[in-house]
Structures are given as structure tokens and as C-alpha cells.
Amino acid sequence: MNAAPVEVPSTCASDTGWPSGAGSDPSERDPERVAAGWDERRRIRPVGLDTQISDQTDRWQLTIQARDPEGAAQFLSDDYALVILQPQLAVVRRDEWLRMLPDYKVTGYSVEERIVETGRGLCTVFQRVDQTAEVKGVERSGIFILVDVWVQDTDAWRVWRRHSTPLSAGVAPRA
């Protein structure tokens, strides 16, 4: 079963900070912006894969907080798994994770640090997050180290693995 494709944001982002008419006359172009890839005539700048994956990560998190299994499924590869090593090993496969999502109540979530690295067909997102949540009535709050491994599917980038290390939370409940 292949999940529905996830739209990757456009490779360009708008910029509203240009003076009117900038770029129509080559003498008005800012050489530093041009060298950085800005197209002053169209008022756009290229967005790298790292920014796209970071945006995808944020959108996936919003589906988690909305407790939306159908929305979240769009971000997951068919063989997705959540892997928890601490305080005890748990590997939660895609179907089980999606079944549990309606019981995952996040009341607070902030990203303290994020590093996105990209490669050919593979991206990683390393995060330190502060979460206030309950899963199936069990407290899952605290600081977590998350490592998401994104893989390039035929039509979109999808999460293959999430490694979650709670620095202070108890044992994770299962479906």
C-alpha cells in the first residue's frame, strides 16, 4: 500500500522586501543577492532541500498534534517505524503507530534545536524537542532527542524511521 504523495513545497519562495521595479534595470540588481541565487525580476529565491525537509517535518508534526492518522500517513514510507531505545527497546511499525495516533495528546511542543542534513536520496533531521503529551493516558512529557530519516520515494520524500530518545520520560505504551 503506497501512501498518498506529499506535496513538496515549491523550489522558490516569495520575497516581499524588494523595492518596486527592482530588477527591471540591470543597474538596480544587487550583486550579492544575484550571486546567492535571487532572481530580482521575479522576486524569488531558490529554496534548498534542507528547507523543504524542515518544512515537511513541521507539517508532519502538525498532523501528529491534530491526531490525524490519515494526514500523518501521507508523510510515512510504507515501512516506517518509530524506534525507541531508552528506557527500553520498542519498535512501533507504521500501522500500529497510526492506530495509536488518536490517543497521542500533545498539549505542548517546541523545537529547541534542529539540524537538517541532505544527501542523495536520503535526509536526516536531528532535533531536541520539549514536549508535553500523553499517549493512551501515560505521561510522555519532557525533552526528547528525535532523529528522522527521510527517504526519497518515487513521488515524494517520506519518513522511513523516527528514532526517539526521551531524556526523562517513562516507558512508552503500545497499541
Which of 81-95, 100-114, 126-140, 156-170 comes out lowest in average pLDDT?
156-170
pLDDT at 53 over 90: yes
The CATH code of the domain at 49-166 is 3.10.450.50
Digit-coded pLDDT (tens) for 140-159: 899 999 999 999 999 899 99
Q: Give every CB contact of residue 132 below 8 A, 6+ residues apart in sequence.
A: 106, 107, 108, 109, 141
d(CA 46, CA 38): 7
Q: What is the mean pLDDT of residues 9-29?
A: 42
pLDDT band at 6 (very low <50, low <70, confident <90, very high): very low
Digit-coded pLDDT (tens) for 105-126: 999 999 999 999 999 999 999 9
Please tell me the total number of residues recorded for the chain in this structure: 175
Is 173:91 a contact under the CB 8 Å cutoff?
Answer: no
What letter does residue 72 receive in the DSSP assignment? H
Digit-coded pLDDT (tens) for 33-45: 555 555 555 555 5
Q: What is the mean pLDDT of residues 55-61?
A: 97
| % the chain with pLDDT above 70 | 70
pLDDT of residue 4: 41
Place of cell 535571487: 38
Provide the residue ranges of all domains of the chain, joining segments of one domain with +: 12-46, 49-166
pLDDT of residue 159: 98
